[in-house]
A and B are shown apart, each in its own frame.
Chain A
Amino acid sequence: MIQSLRRDFSIYRAIAAMAAKTRLAYNMWVWADFVVTIVSMIVFVYFWRAVYAGTSTLSGLALSQTITYILLARLLSPLVETRTIFFFGFMIRQGQIAVELTRPLDMQARIMTESFAELLVFLIQRLPLFLIAWLFFGLQLPSSPALWGAFFISLVLGQIVLFLFDWMFACLAFYVTETWGLSVVRVAAGSFFSGAIVPLVMMPDWLQNLAMSLPFAQAMAVPVSFLSGISTVADAPHIWLTQLIWLLVLLVLSRIVFGIAVRKVTVQGG
């Protein structure tokens, strides 16, 4: 622990400096997010310790692996949330679809860029929490750069997959006025089937298969599996290829569905 602290001192210092500078600008919302995330991490760690009390492995995972997995999933949780459906609903209510579509850049590409930029900012904001999880909660991250590389590529691919799926899902906003209920289903399904609450490998086979046939796992469980020792570097090419296929299929589908939905609104009047 001490040795690794010395090794990563420069990182630590940078984070501390950033925290100090921005501390005064940090408002209550950020603190609230911190507290909420830390509390849930504490709950998870104690819960899983109790789960592993009588055994050393479950579904092939050791306690340390599971804890790493769950902590990562919690810290990365914004990555499985979505606001696209609210955004569509809002746009429709304001009658702004025509405006959006006449903008020079492709709407989907533009919104994806904005969305990813926001996510990046949010994750950077969470860096102190990663540090806390690493120092106190037993988050164990691999040191192999190859694994990290595999993780990042898989993460980017998976996030695009999820974004495209949500794009399609959000088109329901063109057909239903009350988007709140839909988003609840999306949140519930997303958090469960992305493996964010329970590692997918622990699920019974039929449930695992269901999870893998949904896009949520690609955005969270699959990339995180590299960091928690579930997937190895050798698995990377196969995994990336799968994600790429997901991506291409959803890219085509989402644009078709979107086109249909928009036509429905502009023809019938929103």
Chain B
Amino acid sequence: MTRYLELYWHFLIQRFKILMEYRLNFFIGSSSTAILQAASLAAIWVVMRQIPSLNGWSFYEVILVYGLLTMGESITHMFADNLWTVGWNYVRSGDFDRFLVRPIDPLFHLLADRFCHDGIGNLITGAVLVGVSMQKLDIAFSLLHIMYIIISVLSGGVIFIALNLITATSVFWIMESIPVTQMVFTMNEFAKYPLSIYHSSIRVLLTWIIPYGFVSFYPASYLLGRDVGALVWLSPLVALVFIFIAYRIWLFGLRHYSSTGS
């Protein structure tokens, strides 16, 4: 395990060596996601200044949900971006086979091969949104809260990665996994806003089937003192369950790949 951590560190260093060669591009890439967020946030601000609350959620409460989702998404964006490109960049070209003749886990190699700096913009933006909204809402920056947020963001990131991994495995059957991954990934749009504004069926979908709700809504509910029961403590458990399922599915896909080739 420590070996993999150390190895990842080396992959990361090499990746940064490449990125630092084009410093302007690094800066632009990192801030590009932040700029995209700015448009959405401006829209939310425009809308919410006209109304007292969104289904009982004030402007800063909405921002808290949005910020938590953005932070969770940034994790997969930074560390698992290759799950999007596994088809056209690795399997189709045959480069994936290289991973199979190296003495390390192919999934690890796939993910370590590309740290995506674009996600940094999202992480920072999200953190700023969370920090600002907590301050405006008088939520204490206690140790408990900070720990809770860190664990929630990490769990959220793992949930994002798990869902992307499950859909990325389709590459072993259909050679191009982006459309499938896109279809599931887009569901996270729901979790940008409080789940309470949606029909109950959507809430169920986002809680138990495609659990993006645990990235933003339930942690936000905890921080805001809104009662949703035990769900506020379940993010890490959901993350673990889903990543376990995702990894088994991935292994199943690998087995299929090694019997059918490409």
Report if A and B touch in the complex (beta carbons < 8 A): yes
Q: Which of A176-197 contact B (CB under 8 A)?
A: 177-178, 180-182, 184-185, 187-189, 191-192, 197
Which of A42-50, A125-133, A227-235 sits within the interface?
A42-50
Interface string of B196-232 (1 = CB under 8 A from A): 0111001000000000000000000000000000000
In contact, B28 and A180 (Cβ under 8 angstroms): yes
Would you list which residues of chain B between 13 and 66 have a CB under 8 Å from chain A?
22, 24-25, 28-29, 31-33, 35-36, 38-40, 42-43, 46-52, 54-55
Are B46 and A203 in contact, CB atoms less than 8 angstroms apart? yes
Query: Which of A39, A49, A189, A202 lies at the interface centre, i.e. has the most chain B CB atoms within 10 A of its CB?
Result: A39
In the assembled complex, how far is the CB of residue A191 from the closest CB belonging to chain B, in whole angstroms?
Answer: 6
- Interface secondary structure of A, over-half rule: helix
Q: Which of B22, B51, B180 has the most CB of A within 10 A?
A: B51
Task: Give the distance to chain B from A208, nearest Cβ to Cβ, in Å.
Answer: 10
Taking CB atoms, residues of chain B closer than 8 Å to A49 are: 197
* Interface status of A115 (Cβ within 8 A of chain B): no
A50 adjacent to B190 (CB under 8 Å): no
Closest chain-B Cβ to A140's Cβ sits at a distance in Å of 20
B81 within 8 A of A: no
Give CA–CA (A54, B187) in the complex, Å: 27
Interface size on B, residues (CB 8 A): 41
Category for how many chain A residues contact B? 35 or more
Complex: A198 Cα to B186 Cα, angstroms: 20
**Bound-complex Cα distance A182 to B36 (A):** 11
B176 sits at the interface (CB 8 A): yes
Instruction: Give the CA-CA distance A270 to B121 in the complex, in Å.
Output: 32
- Write out the residue numbers on chain B whose beta carbons fall within 8 Å of the beta carbon of A43: 189-190, 192-193
Known: A36-B183, A40-B186. 12 other contacts (CB 8 A): A28-B176, A28-B180, A32-B182, A32-B183, A177-B25, A184-B33, A184-B36, A192-B42, A192-B43, A197-B43, A202-B50, A207-B46
